[in-house]
Amino acid sequence: MERSLESTLLHTIHTRLVHDFSLQIRECLQSLSDGYIWSRPNEKANSVGNLVLHLCGSTRYYIVNCIGEVDSERDRPKEFSERTQIPRDQLIELLNHTMSDCDSVLSGLRPEQMMQTTERTGKTSTYAQILLHVLGHFAAHTGQILYITKMLEEGAISELWRKFRK
């Protein structure tokens, strides 16, 4: 395969999102009890569970809906307001399903499509813009989940970033 900026960008986003970051989140979920997954330091803060719901909703919207052109329902406010303690295994299943759908879309993209545009985001956006937005957003919330996990479960995920680095 010929290397180009587009192919490198697509490969890196695909790897970090579908494999590295999602594996880190799974590891955090496995390290926490259901109670900790849904705990909040205050009413204005997010729980790990809410962040997982939000990442799945947002990532599905941008990659599966906007790029893959598969319509899906999203209730963004509920991603943050959910108070029902959805069990860890269900959250992991939701994350796995979301990443599987994203993997399918990203595996089907070709590097020459990175500058293709869509209006599905509500404005004209290139696939590269969408993917860079998703990667930054996913990375930020993954960092929050990692930090919360370290705060709640001492030693649970030491050196996790090295474990999954490709």
Match 């899906």 to its residue by tokens.
72
- List CB contacts of 69: < 8 A, sequence separation 6 or more: 118, 120
**pLDDT number for residue 134:** 98
Under CATH, what is the fold of the domain 5-163? Four Helix Bundle (Hemerythrin (Met), subunit A) (1.20.120)
Question: Is the CB of residue 24 less than 8 Å from the CB of residue 116?
Answer: no
Query: Which residue stretches of the chain have pLDDT < 50?
Result: 165-166
**pLDDT number for residue 157:** 75
Domain boundaries, given as residue ranges, for the chain: 5-163
- List CB contacts of 32: < 8 A, sequence separation 6 or more: 48, 88, 149, 152, 153, 156
Q: CA 82 → CA 33, 78, 79, 114, distances in Å?
A: 17, 5, 6, 35
**pLDDT number for residue 165:** 47
pTM above 0.85, yes or no: yes
**pLDDT number for residue 166:** 47
- List CB contacts of 3: < 8 A, sequence separation 6 or more: none
**pLDDT number for residue 161:** 52
**pLDDT number for residue 1:** 54
**pLDDT number for residue 159:** 59
Kindly give the pairing relationship between strand 125-126 and strand 117-118.
antiparallel
